[in-house]
């Protein structure tokens, strides 16, 4: 056996070991999904219900997903309104009623252009005829809800990012915990409507069993 043969054998052995490691990793951590909540034009600067920092959040999410992100599934939710009743108001209180936003078929309902990732495994639309803050109220085109879809994909752990921390991210995280999922909010990949009350929101989520990573920008 020449030195070259030995080296090739070593390399092959290493390849096999790496493949085994990859398979093991897929079995143990392959059920982690990222949920990207409502990163739509109307929720970003220049939109009808602009959240400060929305575009920057979209850029950071794009950076995360441009590399080897390690999620077995990446899904998105969209606010998708047709006629959501009192969710829209000409005199909104910015708690329960809001300016018109994310109306189906309008540019404001589209993902903001800073979200360059376009390979979502599924997109869940919510709120056609009623307010819907949680992504778990949404459904894919064929009617499959987020909870059912994640269960079907074997997902047991979710990480959540997007807009807004204190509304749709919050509601999605609370429902994720209720669905029995190990839930983490990626705080630095979110933007809040009301940054002054964010610590209350995070306290509420922590009490419900949500974990956090990162810190609020700004």
- Tell me which residues are annotated as active site: 38, 126, 168
Cβ 84 to Zn ion, closest distance in Å? 6
State phi, psi for 96 to the nearest 5 degrees. Answer: -115, -15
Sheet holding 122-126, edge to edge: 122-126, 73-79, 32-37, 157-163, 182-191, 211-213
With CB under 5 A as the contact rule, which of the stretches 71-79, 137-145, 150-158, 207-215 interacts with Zn ion?
Answer: 71-79
Enumerate the H helices of 30-133 as residue ranges: 54-66
Q: Which is closer to Zn ion, CB of 33 or CB of 193?
A: 193
Other C-beta atoms within 10 Å of 114: how many? 17
User: Which residue is at the shortest CB distance from Zn ion?
Assistant: 79
Q: Which is closer to Zn ion, CB of 79 or CB of 159?
A: 79
Q: Which is closer to Zn ion, CB of 79 or CB of 166?
A: 79
With CB under 5 A as the contact rule, which of the stretches 77-85, 117-125, 139-147, 183-191 interacts with Zn ion?
Answer: 77-85
Cβ 132 to Zn ion, closest distance in Å? 7
| Residue 161 DSSP one-character state | E
Beta bridge partners of 191: 163
Cβ 80 to Zn ion, closest distance in Å? 9
Cβ 212 to Zn ion, closest distance in Å? 24
How far apart are alpha carbons 167 and 148 in whole angstroms?
22
Q: Which position among 38, 42, 79, 166 is part of the footprint of Zn ion (CB under 5 A)?
A: 79
Q: How many CA atoms lie within 13 A of 200 on its CB side?
A: 7
Q: Which residues bind Zn ion (CB under 5 A)?
A: 79
């Amino acid at each position: 056996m020449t030195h070259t043969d030995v080296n090739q054998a070593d390399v092959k052995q290493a390849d096999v070991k790496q493949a085994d490691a990859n398979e093991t990793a897929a079995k143990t951590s392959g059920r982690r999904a990222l949920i990207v909540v409502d990163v739509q034009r109307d929720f970003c600067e220049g939109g009808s219900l602009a959240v400060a920092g929305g575009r920057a959040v979209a850029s950071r999410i794009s950076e995360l997903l441009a590399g080897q992100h390690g999620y077995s599934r990446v899904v998105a939710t969209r606010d998708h309104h047709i006629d959501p009743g009192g969710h829209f108001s000409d005199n909104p209180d910015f708690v329960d009623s809001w300016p018109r936003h994310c109306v189906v078929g309008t540019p404001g309902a589209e993902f903001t252009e800073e979200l360059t990732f376009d390979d979502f495994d599924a997109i869940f639309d919510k709120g056609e005829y009623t307010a819907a803050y949680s992504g778990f109220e949404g459904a894919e085109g064929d009617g499959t809800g987020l909870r059912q879809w994640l269960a079907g994909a074997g997902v047991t752990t979710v990480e959540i990012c997007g807009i807004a921390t204190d509304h749709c991210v919050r509601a999605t995280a609370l429902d994720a915990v209720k669905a029995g999922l190990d839930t983490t909010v990626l705080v630095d990949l979110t933007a809040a409507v009301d940054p002054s009350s964010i610590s209350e929101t995070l306290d509420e989520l922590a009490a419900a069993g949500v974990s956090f990573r990162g810190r609020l920008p700004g």
